[in-house]
């Protein structure tokens, strides 16, 4: 039961909580007619970030729930502000015409937008790459992958933790993925400066990664990409594609290549140099 749900629900709120339960950590923009509405703690956060009015809505049995919303045509204005504030945002649309049904309108999440994953032109910063990264750590070695979903640029590498730290500092990903059970290990190695998201451990396995990458590239092996000896990097790359599945980004036909990061292509700045810039 969501933390807000401590009262008898109206049919609309029952539907809302059913959808919300699929991505409880995201702000849910729930389409109601010509508005996107947020409820409960989401409404409180949205009103603080966006500066929109916070009100209360009757929710049956003499109880109320916080409410904050904006017109649907203002999505391109407000969505970027939520994402740039470090929020994950689930967009829930009406999936049928309200005029054609006498029951409550069918609704569903059509996209989950995060700091590292968006195809929305207004969220993207066109002056720089918008990289999503994944890191797979095994003791003192780690693999890393970077994807800019807007361009399809997909890069992979592996090496010492110091080397991976250099890569993260140079690529400045908007979001970094890693295994749930390795949060402390990640923070010890790379700090807490990156927006991050933890994925289930099974995603970070050779089998899962290989299957997902071969499916994406429609090949029988990864040998043609010249990355087959980067076992940990391949695991990280697979995790990125699984994350795109989770966030319901299915238009991935433009991601056709996986390239090894060439060290001499990048200017290396260590963390101390960056800190003092």
CB 99: neighbour CB atoms within 10 A?
6
Residue 18: predicted pLDDT: 95
pLDDT tens by residue, 201-257: 999 999 999 999 999 999 999 999 999 899 999 999 999 999 999 988 888 889 999
User: What whole-number distance in Å separates Cα of residue 111 and Cα of residue 16?
Assistant: 16
Report the alpha-carbon distance of residue 24 to residue 17 in Å, rounded.
Answer: 9
Regarding pTM above 0.75, the answer is yes
Domains of the chain: 11-113 (3.40.1170.10), 131-275 (3.30.420.110)
Non-local CB neighbours of 213 within 8 Å, separated by 6+ positions: 222, 234, 237, 238, 241, 258
pLDDT, tens only, 118-163 = 766 666 566 667 899 999 999 899 999 999 988 899 999 999 999 9
Alpha carbon distance 72, 81 (integer Å): 15
* Of 275 and 48, the one with more pLDDT: 48
């Amino acid at each position: 039961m969501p933390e807000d749900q401590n009262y008898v629900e109206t049919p609309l709120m029952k539907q809302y909580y059913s959808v919300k339960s699929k991505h409880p950590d995201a702000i849910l923009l729930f389409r109601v007619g010509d508005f996107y509405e947020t409820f409960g703690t989401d409404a409180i956060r949205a009103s603080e970030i966006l500066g929109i009015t916070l009100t209360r809505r009757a929710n049956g049995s003499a109880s109320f729930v916080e409410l904050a919303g904006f017109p649907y045509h203002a999505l391109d204005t407000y969505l970027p502000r939520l994402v740039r504030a470090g929020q994950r945002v689930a967009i829930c649309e009406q999936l049928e015409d309200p005029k054609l049904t006498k029951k409550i309108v069918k609704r569903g999440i059509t996209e989950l937008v995060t700091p590292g994953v968006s195809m929305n032109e207004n969220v993207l910063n066109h002056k720089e790459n918008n990289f999503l990264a994944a890191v797979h750590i095994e003791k003192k070695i780690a693999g890393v992958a970077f994807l800019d979903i807007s361009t399809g640029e997909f890069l992979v590498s592996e090496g010492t933790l110091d080397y991976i730290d250099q890569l993260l500092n140079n690529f400045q990903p908007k979001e970094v993925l890693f295994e749930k059970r390795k949060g402390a290990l990640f923070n010890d190695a790379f700090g807490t400066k990156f927006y991050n998201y933890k994925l289930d451990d099974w995603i970070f396995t050779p089998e899962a990664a290989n299957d997902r990458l071969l499916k994406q590239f429609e090949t029988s092996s990864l040998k043609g990409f010249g990355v087959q000896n980067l076992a940990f990097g391949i695991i990280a790359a697979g995790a990125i594609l699984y994350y795109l599945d989770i966030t319901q980004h299915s238009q991935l036909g433009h991601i056709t290549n996986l390239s090894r990061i060439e060290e001499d292509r990048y200017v290396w700045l260590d963390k101390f140099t960056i800190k003092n810039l």
